Amino acid sequence: MRTQVGIVGAGPAGLVLAHLLRRQGIEAMVLESRSRSAIEATVRAGVLEQGTVDLLDALGLGGRMHREGAEHHGVVLRFDGRSFRLALSQLTGRTIMLYAQHEVLRDLVGAWLATGGALRFEAEAVALGGLEGERPTIRFRQAGREEELTCDYVAGCDGYHGVCRQAIPTALRRELVRVHPFAWFGILAEVPRLAPELIYALHERGFALASTRSEHLQRLYVQCDPGDRVEDWSDDRIWSELRARLSTRDGFSFRDGPIVQKDVIGMRSFVVEPMQCGRLFLAGDAAHIVPPTGAKGLNLAVADAWVLARALAERYAKGSEERLARYSETCLRRAWSAQRFSWRMTSLLHRFPEHDHFQRRLQLADLEEVARSHAAALSLAENYVGSPFEE
């Protein structure tokens, strides 16, 4: 079995890369260890930067996103019982789109298969070979049989637990990890929209986030202990914490309702350096993970795919490997910028076990500065909406 670019993983990075390569006339095959129904049903955050929205539009995949997603021109920071609206579009000229990741994947998968794209589900990559040569291989297992895909280049888009990152020799890679001392307890609830825009709340009891999926389905989070289990949180406890943490001095009310999904989301930061080795190029969660506070994960994956597609296009069209040689450097620059912003948002809005009253007052002072200073608000807004993809 032979292709030009073998893509391991049908997440945002792998599928966007596949679509971009096809536009350049480059053949690609995607291998995905899970079933189609599994990847399309896994609910994850979906705050899309303007650059991601524009790219999906350019690929002809933005129709349903614009019909069913929600374009937001601002977000709300809530602290000390007060709310401050960060006017994203007014400050930056750019907006964000709320559109769940599994919906993005449905659009990407559907369009890829509808046009005859090669994608094998339930095909688990087990080993990579020949990465330093001209014909690397991907060995994978499907339906109880092992097969081998030979390609010119391998795109490792198989997430944190995949085999691609492990194929880089330990002597050549450095993994930087920070595990945070809290988690998010997330729910999907069949209730009316709590507010017109996202709410990020700092409270004595911990962080809370109110997001939306539709007019009658909301995604809500509260900071919790990383050792918490789903069964530790009754519906009454969840709604009580949300009401307390989202409260305001002038009153803020919402109606609770049926909770259709509960999960505990661990919080960690991770980067591997470099993101390439021979003819293997990592993208998305295989290379970096950011806390969800900054809403950067999916957008970083798409940016990686965009950089790699341009580099491969240059290689096949002109024979130049200059962009490929700079792939890791280019992507890591954006990844570390996202890590810095995600860390700022996380440290700004969460209660840490070691925090005393002094540190809590510093958090409030930082938020106050964003509320009163145009420069501080502009900096936060520019980072939140994201920078244009690297040229």
Statement to judge: residues 145 and 186 lie in one domain:
no
The per-residue pLDDT of the chain, averaged, comes to 95
pLDDT at 79: 97
Sort 299 into a burial class: Cβ within 10 Å, 0-12 / 13-18 / 19+: buried
Is position 316 annotated as part of the catalytic site?
A: no
Statement to judge: residues 289 and 223 lie in one domain:
no
Statement to judge: residues 295 and 365 lie in one domain:
no
Is the CA virtual torsion 111, 114, 117, 121 positive or negative? positive
Statement to judge: residues 99 and 157 lie in one domain:
yes
Of the candidates 72, 203, 288, 350, the residue annotated as catalytic is 72
- What is the pLDDT averaged over residues 170-179? 96
Q: What is the pLDDT of residues 30-48, one digit of tens each?
A: 999 999 999 887 777 689 9
Report residue 390's pLDDT band, with 50, 70 and 90 as the boundaries.
Answer: low
pLDDT at 26: 98
- What is the pLDDT averaged over residues 95-116? 95
Statement to judge: residues 203 and 135 lie in one domain:
no
Nearest to 48 by CA among 110, 108, 138: 108
Is position 327 annotated as part of the catalytic site?
A: no
Q: Say if 88 falls within a structural domain.
A: no
Q: Say if 330 falls within a structural domain.
A: yes
Per the confidence metrics, is the pTM higher than 0.85? yes
Statement to judge: residues 159 and 296 lie in one domain:
yes
Q: What is the pLDDT of residues 298-307, one digit of tens each?
A: 999 999 999 9
The number of folded domains in the chain is 2
Q: Say if 296 falls within a structural domain.
A: yes
pLDDT at 388: 85
pLDDT at 391: 53
Statement to judge: residues 105 and 252 lie in one domain:
no
- What is the pLDDT averaged over residues 16-23? 98
Q: Say if 90 falls within a structural domain.
A: no
pLDDT at 180: 95
Q: Say if 203 falls within a structural domain.
A: yes
pLDDT at 283: 98
Of the candidates 12, 19, 99, 200, the residue annotated as catalytic is 200
Of the candidates 99, 153, 292, 350, the residue annotated as catalytic is 292
pLDDT at 372: 97
pLDDT at 156: 98
Of the candidates 19, 203, 288, 296, the residue annotated as catalytic is 296
**Residue 223 maps to which CATH number?**
3.30.9.10
Q: Indicate the angle between helix axes 374-385 and 327-349, nearest 10 degrees.
A: 130
CA 75 to chain centre: 18
Q: Identity (one letter) of the amino acid at 99?
A: Y
Average the pLDDT over each of 5-9, 42-46, 187-191, 350-354 and give the range with the smallest value.
Answer: 42-46
Statement to judge: residues 306 and 165 lie in one domain:
yes
Report residue 132's pLDDT band, with 50, 70 and 90 as the boundaries.
Answer: very high
Query: What CA–CA distances, in Å, run from 138 to 116, 154, 167, 333?
Result: 21, 8, 11, 28
> Between β-strands 153-156 and 280-282, what pairing exists: parallel, antiparallel or unpaired?
parallel
3-state secondary structure of 333: helix
Q: Say if 248 falls within a structural domain.
A: yes
Statement to judge: residues 19 and 117 lie in one domain:
yes
Average the pLDDT over each of 40-49, 133-142, 228-237, 273-282 and give the range with the smallest value.
Answer: 40-49
Statement to judge: residues 46 and 142 lie in one domain:
yes
What is the span of the domain harbouring residue 109?
5-72+95-177+268-349
Query: What CA–CA distances, in Å, run from 38 to 10, 33, 111?
Result: 11, 10, 17
Q: Say if 22 falls within a structural domain.
A: yes
Statement to judge: residues 256 and 370 lie in one domain:
yes
Is position 99 annotated as part of the catalytic site?
A: no
Query: What is d(CA 74, CA 305) in angstroms, rounded to the nearest whole number?
Result: 27
Q: Say if 128 falls within a structural domain.
A: yes
Statement to judge: residues 31 and 151 lie in one domain:
yes
**Residue 339 maps to which CATH number?**
3.50.50.60
Is position 200 annotated as part of the catalytic site?
A: yes
